[in-house]
Structure 1
Amino acid sequence: MPRLALLALLPALLLVSACGDRAEAPAEDLTTAGAVADAMLARYADNLGDVEAFTVVGGGAEARYSLSGDTTGLDRFGPPQVAPVGDAAPQMAAQLLFVQVPNVPRIARGLRSAELAGPLTRDGRRAYVLSTTDPGALFGEPGLASTDTTETREFRVYVDADRFDVLEIYQLVASDTLRQPITSRILYSDFQETDGVTLPHTVRQIETGLNLAMADDDRMLMGGQLGIQKERLKMEPPTPERDAQIANLEAQQRVIAEGISEMTLEVEAVRVGAEE
């Protein structure tokens, strides 16, 4: 299913990004995807090459990264261990901790032969665009391009042209059976340095077309059930927990009615080094 195809790509985004700002940027604009990939890897080595562990806190949860023992150079850190902070339930946006730092070594390897465009202006920043139709590129395993002529896939990675931060990962699936494409965008901004490590402190995910695989009767039924739950919550005394539940139901209603899901994770703290 196209929706499942999009979700299946997310594990490729679970590891660690080259977001440093200390390595010297190239003096001239780059002209090949391979050169951009090399610059991304140089940033990665400068930013996280000597780091053994770090923790990212946001959305009522924290993600702990530690060395994986990998010797290939593709997975220096293992998948983050995410746990709640305090007694309250984490916010929905806490799930973005799993994609808060992209796996630059794998992306750079997979997109080395991608189509290159730019630099162009993207949200006020100069950016290169690496484009491919191969889903394996985001895993660092190119060569998985689909042979299905009824389906179109497109993947783009936007990279800052001066500091080589990953600014956005874009995925699109279009099919003859869908009224409109299904898209997923993960956007990274507000890069800040903590103890020599620079990471994005705002991560936003926007997905569209999520309701296309649902039958009209199912959408109406689920929408009605969510509406009843929301009205019941409105009759309860106002509390932060109640308001969070209402906001969650409204987000689900938008997915069902419009096929649009939006979440934003604001990083509250970064701790570099192993936990005491």
Structure 2
Amino acid sequence: MEFGVSTFVTDDGIGPAALGRALEERGFGALFLAEHTHIPVSRETPWPGGAELPRHYYRTLDPFVALTAAATVTERLLVGTGIALVIQRDPIVLAKEVASLDLISGGRAVLGIGAGWNREEMRNHGTEPKTRMRLLRERVLAMKELWTEDEAEFHGEFVDFDPVFSYPKPVQDPHPPVLVGGSGPTTFDRVVEFGDGWMPILGRGTEDLGGQIAALRERAGRRVPVTVFGVTPKAQIVADMEAAGADRVLFNLPTEPEAATLARLDEMAKLL
């Protein structure tokens, strides 16, 4: 089983280059970064994690800029999004960002995706919450065309473009893996149709994780890779994840200044 961290990189915590270097030095294999383009002041949509939205949600750096900084000072560390809010991004631009990160990193990019929870945030991007899952599907399928075809085109309900040239192409063949986040009733539909892996958040609909993983792999007819997101760094939890059939765990790393982060990573590294 592989190990990494999932975190929010902000303007008042450890910087992405220092974090990436520290992770690789301690033997971690992956860095996954969250994103929020902004947080609406209204705060109408409840946060799934509790009552009060934590400070770091308001202050995230752009994940692709931050991951590029981490990639340039590392050699082996996977650099991924956990998650990228595809429904808030233009698919042609996002396809170029992911391919550029994959090229700069030498084929180490991973795209974790989701449809988000903050309805006011997505509306500010022109996205209707009720149709966001259909929008997510089309944007991912369109990006796969852009990554793999010399003259890519896509014609759907939400995404529609005639043949285009889109470069660079990703280093990974056929493209960076797309990990589908979430654990709702239709999540496996998305994993099977256009995902290359599943990335649930531990504790949110994962009460029978081993059974869920087995059911997904049976349905897909293949060994779907599973990355478990937001894991508490405890030995028993790690053992449970391995027994459930997970391929990678991402320890939840709080957003803190550099000295505190390095000390916390030293403790986490004991579990590797």
Q: Which has more helix, going by share of residues? A: 2
- Normalized against structure 1, the TM-score is what? 0.26
The structure with the larger Rg is 1
